[in-house]
A and B are shown apart, each in its own frame.
Chain A
Amino acid sequence: MANETKGNWWIWRVFWILLGITAFEVGLGIVKPEFLMEQFLGTKIINHVFIILTLIKAAYIVMEFMHLGAETKSLRWTILLPAIILIPYLLFIILTEGGYAYMMM
């Protein structure tokens, strides 16, 4: 394991990144700046910002805390590909359908 020689500093670095992003999200959620409230691709811009920040947090947790970044390339893609392909596909189908269900009411 590569981490045996690395000490603990990298853990605290990831901690501060996760904490900083979460604090920023909460601040944004309380302030709700006016220029982020416009509609874009089916939802408000602020929601796109939240989703991107959430994906960054998820990447840090999976790659650093769960050591997936240090595993072999084949294992990394075996884990990531099903999620990367299936989850956006599922969301696209279901959310589009939800929009149509609204129009049909």
Chain B
Amino acid sequence: MEQTGENNGVAWQGGDRPYNASYGKLMMWFFLITDALTFSGFLAAYGFSRFKYPDIWPNPEDVFSHFPFLHGEHPLLFVALMTFILIMSSVTMVLAVNYGHKMQKNKVILWLSLTIFGGAIFLGSQAWEWGHFIHGDKGGISTQTEHVVHIAEGEKLASVYDLMGADGHDGTHHHFTVDQVITSLEANPQYNIRKANRMYLTNEDAIAYLRENATEVLLGANLKNNEYGHPLFADYFFFITGFHGFHVFSGVVILIVILINVIKGTYERRGHYEMVEKVGLYWHFVDLVWVFVFTFFYLV
């Protein structure tokens, strides 16, 4: 029975299609709603911790400030590029869906391939971002109160490597002790520290503060400690961007499977390209989540 929107008195006997959408598309939408609520839960949890530690939470622009092959500070640029790549791959996905409606197999193959390419580039960028985050940038010193303080030169953020006269990117594994840092601070009075609440101390106060409170010199980030600030910051970073990256990865895998089916002519024989449309919904959702991660992790 092909009825749409009218029940002819048999609404409770099936055959009526109030949504006028196929089973597969409807289930994809319902899955996406649950997934959207899951991501909302993660981002709300991130917001909770940020509201709980407003004074000592790291500034995103101090953390994500580097661009591959470029020296100096370029806050936001790399993640803006990643956003652009994902939006672009969303566009190629819509084009693939659009040509699927027109049953133009070769154009579907072209635009699907470009979407997979964009997804792969995004994953590579995220790998670079993670690598950089784990390796660390300026170093920090943890204190007994879970605060992380940073080395500064006057009123400007410097790095532990500057203070110790080491190169953070020479490929070797560095390790400094609190005593070494204090000795260097005594020998180089132009350096001081910035406390977690962004207050700058003088050189003498910095030495006294570190003698009293410092526990460990942190270089890089893991799930227990990170040089950027509160330990939860790195935990949320790994968990939320990791969960999103996992979505992108599975999206790429599914797109490859669908592309193989398109090339084999499966959908041509079936008479419609609805499968491409369903994967398209998933792919746009991944883009949608990134729009929110971008805002709440990097901008706000």
Contacts and interface: CB of A to CB of B under 8 A. Distances in A.
Query: For chain B, what secondary structure do more than half of its interface residues adopt (helix, strand, loop), or is it mixed?
Result: helix
B154 interface: no
A66 B48 contact: no
Contacts of B40: 83, 86-87, 90-91
B184 interface: no
B243 interface: no
Given A87-B37, A90-B41, A61 B48 contact: no
Q: Is the interface of A mostly helix, strand, loop or mixed?
A: helix
Nearest to A90: B44
Contact of B80 (A1, A4, A22, A102): A22
Contact of A98 (B19, B21, B52, B294): B52
Interface string A37-80: 00000010001001100100110011001100001101100110
Interface residues on chain B, size class: 35 or more
Contact of A101 (B48, B77, B101, B291): B48
B102 A66 contact: no
B52 A4 contact: no
A14 B52 CA distance: 38
A50 B295 contact: yes
Nearest to B92: A11
Given A4-B102, A22-B80, A79-B33, A95 B292 contact: no
B20 A75 contact: yes
Contacts of B37: 82-83, 86-87
Contacts of B18: 72, 74
A65 B284 contact: yes
B225 to A, nearest CB: 20
B51 A58 contact: no
A47 to B, nearest CB: 5
Given A22-B87, A29-B61, A72-B5, A91 B295 contact: no
Nearest to A99: B51
B207 to A, nearest CB: 28
Given A11-B94, A19-B84, A66-B284, A78 B19 contact: yes
Question: Which 7 pairs across A and B sit closest by C-beta, in order of nearness?
Answer: A98-B51, A98-B48, A75-B19, A101-B52, A54-B295, A94-B44, A26-B80
Interface of B: 5, 18-21, 26, 29, 32-33, 36-37, 40-41, 44-45, 47-54, 61, 75-77, 80, 83-84, 87-88, 90-91, 93-95, 98, 101-102, 280-281, 284-285, 287-288, 291-292, 294-295, 298-300
